[in-house]
Amino acid sequence: MTDGLPEFLLARIAEEEHAAQEAQKLDDYVSPHADIRSAEDRRDWEVLDAFARRFSFARILAECDVNRRIVEDCKDYLLHDRNGLAGELAERTLRFRALPHVEHPEYRREWLP
């Protein structure tokens, strides 16, 4: 059963999008302890820099956008072809996209893939 799953996912996507948008508005902040002292510090900084660039807020917001479109399309397929292959694929897709939220209090075990 996937009743409530699209709505659960849309709510999580909206939360994530809101958090990313709010965080983008924060004033720039300079960490008082960020101090590059050694080659190892520099390597650490480069690792973080790569992560920060790869997972920018723009990337997260783009992910939210495509995730919402996936959920909306899957909702349509479930509505119009619940017992066909399209509906079955849509259901599998929703179950997998919900996996990262498995610890959320509103997540239901019946949604596990």
Partner 1 sequence: MNDDFLRFLSELAREQAVARLTAEIELPDFLIARIAEDKVTALEVAAKAARLDEALGAAPPDEHPWELEICENGTVLRVGASTARVLADSYSKEQLVREVTAEWRDGYVTARLVLEFLALPYAGHPDYNPAWRPQRF
In order of 43, 48, 90, 93, the CA distances from 52 in angstroms are 14, 6, 32, 28
Query: Which of these ranges, 3-11, 57-65, 104-112, lies near partner 1 under the rule CB under 8 A?
Result: 57-65
5-34 binders of partner 1 (CB under 8 A)? 19-20, 22-24, 26, 28-34
Helix (H, G, I), strand (E, B) or coil at 101: helix
Among 47, 82, 110, 112, binds partner 1 (CB under 8 A): 47
Q: Is 62 a binder of partner 1 (CB under 8 A)?
A: yes
Q: Which ranges in 1-113 belong to alpha helices (H)?
A: 5-24, 39-54, 57-80, 85-98
* Pick 57 or 110: Cβ nearer partner 1: 57
- CA-to-CA distance for 74 and 94, rounded, in angstroms? 7
Query: Which of these ranges, 2-10, 40-48, 104-112, lies near partner 1 under the rule CB under 8 A?
Result: 40-48
